Amino acid sequence: MATLIKNGTLVTAEKTFQADILIQDEKIHRVSPGLEADSALTIDASGKLILPGGVDPHVHLDLPMFGTVSSDDHYTGHKAAAFGGTTTAMDFVVLEDKGFKYSVDLWLEKSQKAAIDYSFHMNLTQFNDNIAKQIPSLREMGIQTIKVFTAYNGRLRLDDGSIFKALQIARDNGMLVMAHCENGDVIETLVTQALMADHLTPEWHALTRLAWGAVEATFRMAAMAQQADTPVYIVHMNAGGEVDMLKYARERGVKVMGETCPQYLFFTIDNLRQPDGAKWICSPPMRTKEDNARLWQGLTEGIVQTVGTDHCPFFFDGTKPILYEGEKIAIPGKELGKDDFTKIPNGLPGIQDRMPVLWTTGVRAGKITANQFVAYMSTNPAKVFGLYPRKGALLEGSDADVVIWDPEKKVNYGVATSHQRTDYNLYEGWELTGYPEKVFLRGKLIVDGNEWKGKRGEGQFLKRGEGQMI
């Protein structure tokens, strides 16, 4: 059956306007004022905004770490995403010794329970001549992006020479390199020194991963991208100096793009100093209020291109079960590092929080416009990662991923509101104004107020084409 959404105000990355939307056969069929369709299910969206479904470019689902696993899988994480207005999520494949296809097949198997549409990036954590030859084969699997690390020595990090070669391969094959930017050598030195001095509390996670390491590594990646003449995408920018480096490089024609995450806009090392500081452990870590402010400026001024979440949740206390969909579940979590910050699983919940939290603190607070909100949350990620205009758009022919957004709905946010499968929320008790009312995935209503209408396995794997520099 066709669906007709009438009397709403459409908000895109470019403009805000009055129009109706006719959805048919999973696509947006018509966008125009005064549409009529006798056989369609008609929804009156008077007083509401119509947004394209969110595109989260950076999530980690069912990810093994420190002897446990992130607590959201490709069903629970996707369900939470949908309640927050996100209808597409991009996960990262762990590169196994058996190669790219084996690794991708493992992730495809994990994601059979997907509840929204999804795609993958490939973590490039090994490099030799054989791997170099295989990188272009990822395109045949619908994966156009590889992620490199300048930290995690001996585990994930590649040396600069290998990263540069990866950039050249990406250039020659229409692919994009994403980069986790910190200084691995400095981190390893500071961690060793902290442990020797018996500095074991959560704040030392931040004190051993200093902001200057992120700033330096961001500029180093931009410099390598310029020398390789290919774009690079800096993930989870967390330090104000990174915004400075991004601006400096882009003004000089360097093909570099930046992503930040909500947590870096609000929280600081002081949160790690709280009794429950382990809740805020992620990598890179929280910084300072000055960094928060500069990152906001990066969004206000359009220096930063996207907002992802780096969603990678763990229980705060995995010894105590929570009730999820009527069943008790407990997964070992941050209590694993109660006596040693280096053993605390790195990661936070955020996939549901992103859009509602940024609407209140960004759009309603006047820091970004509603059109910028749509750009950062949906359209820009879709463009960068080769999904536009199928995703991230309210155009005729686009997938009918549509969010009816109530800009006046008030929500006391927190664990009770969240569908993320963990036992805490970073935004507990925050008063939000503006929230999804209905969420459609390819024309099917999957969230209706507080009611979940989606299903396991309804999400589709998206084979992506070449993205664009924005």
Q: Find the length of the chain.
A: 470
- Tokens of residue 109, six digits: 């198997």
On whether the CB atoms of residues 259 and 221 are closer than 8 A, the answer is: no
Q: Which domains does the chain have, with CATH numbers?
A: 3-51+392-408+432-452 (2.30.40.10), 54-384 (3.20.20.140)
Do 409 and 435 meet the contact criterion of CB atoms below 8 Å apart? yes
Question: pLDDT confidence of 313, banded at 50, 70, 90?
Answer: very high
Contact call for residues 234 and 218 (beta carbons, < 8 A): yes
Q: What is the mean pLDDT of the chain?
A: 98
**Rounded alpha-carbon distances, angstroms, from residue 332 to 14, 64, 320, 344, 345:** 44, 11, 9, 11, 9
Percentage of residues of the chain with pLDDT beyond 70: 100
**CA gap 115, 72 in Å, rounded:** 12
Q: Mind listing the pLDDT tens digit for each residue in 417-462?
A: 999 999 999 999 999 999 999 999 999 999 999 999 999 999 999 9
pLDDT of residue 349: 98
Residue 103 pLDDT level (bands cut at 50, 70, 90): very high
> Which of 63, 62, 61, 71 lies closest to 332 in space, CA to CA?
71
pLDDT at 27 over 90: yes
Q: What is the pLDDT of residue 153?
A: 96
Read off the pLDDT band of 1 (50, 70, 90): confident
The alpha-helical segments, DSSP class H, found in 6-91 are 76-83
User: Mean pLDDT, to the nearest integer, of 339-363?
Assistant: 98
If one counts every other C-beta atom within 10 angstroms of the C-beta of residue 423, the result is 23
The phi and psi torsions of 124 (rounded to 5 degrees) equal: -100, 95
pLDDT tens by residue, 239-285: 999 999 999 999 999 999 999 999 999 999 999 999 999 999 999 99
**Residue 136 predicted with pLDDT over 90:** yes
Nearest to 142 by CA among 441, 459, 461: 461
pLDDT at 43: 98
Whether the model pTM is above 0.85: yes
Residues 148-206: tens digit of each pLDDT: 999 999 999 999 999 999 999 999 999 999 999 999 999 999 999 999 999 999 999 99
Q: pLDDT band for 237, please (50, 70, 90 cuts).
A: very high
Q: Assign 104 a pLDDT band (cuts: 50, 70, 90).
A: very high
- 91 has pLDDT over 90: yes
Strand order of the β-sheet with 176-180 is: 54-59, 86-93, 117-123, 145-149, 176-180, 232-237, 256-260, 306-307
284: amino acid identity, one letter: P
